[in-house]
Amino acid sequence: MSEIRIRATPRPTARVVGDTTIVELSGEIDMLTAPCVGARLDVLTVRPLPDLVVDLRSVSFIDCTGLGVLCRVANHVRARQGRLRLVTDNPRFRRILRLTRLSGAFEVCAVPPGAAAMPSSTDVA
């Protein structure tokens, strides 16, 4: 298991568990921080069959630029036949996904993989 330090403001924290990379974002993901976050996530999705979990539970704000980064990363992962999961327990973020019609574009979990229970993306309210 290796650990990589990054933060959304501006570097996220990532750790590798088996074949899964778990990235913990914190702070705000907006037009100022999104380029750094996007660049880091791009690096983590270059290999075939990437399995990426993006933990958004410590994100206090995300704007359309941040959503765009998540969409771009999702497209990269799909193009490499991988898997992307977003972790959030924030009902406002889930509502943003629903209102922007992006709730079906992501697999959304309330807790990271390996934790006690992981609701399916159909639980998006």
Tens-digit pLDDT string for the chain (125 aa): 444 334 444 456 778 888 899 999 999 999 999 999 999 999 999 999 999 999 999 999 999 999 999 999 999 999 999 999 999 999 999 999 999 999 899 999 999 887 644 444 433 33
pLDDT of residue 116: 47
**To the nearest whole number, what is the mean pLDDT of the chain?**
84
Q: The domain 3-123 is classified under which CATH number: 3.40.50.80, 3.20.10.10, 3.30.750.24, 1.10.10.2160? A: 3.30.750.24
Torsional class of 63: left (φ above 0), alpha (ψ -120 to 50), beta (otherwise):
beta
pLDDT of residue 16: 84
Sheet order of strands, 83-87 included: 3-4, 13-17, 20-29, 51-62, 83-87, 107-109
CA atoms within 13 A on the CB side of 70: 28
Could you state, in order of their start, the residue ranges of all structural domains in the chain?
A: 3-123
Of the candidates 104, 6, 99, 95, the one whose C-alpha atom is nearest the C-alpha of residue 55 is 6
pTM of the model: 0.80
* Angle, vertex CA 64, rays to CA 61 and CA 70, nearest 5: 85
Of the candidates 115, 82, 88, the one whose C-alpha atom is nearest the C-alpha of residue 103 is 88
Q: What DSSP string describes 35-60?
A: HHHHHHHHHHT-SSS-EEEEEEEEEE
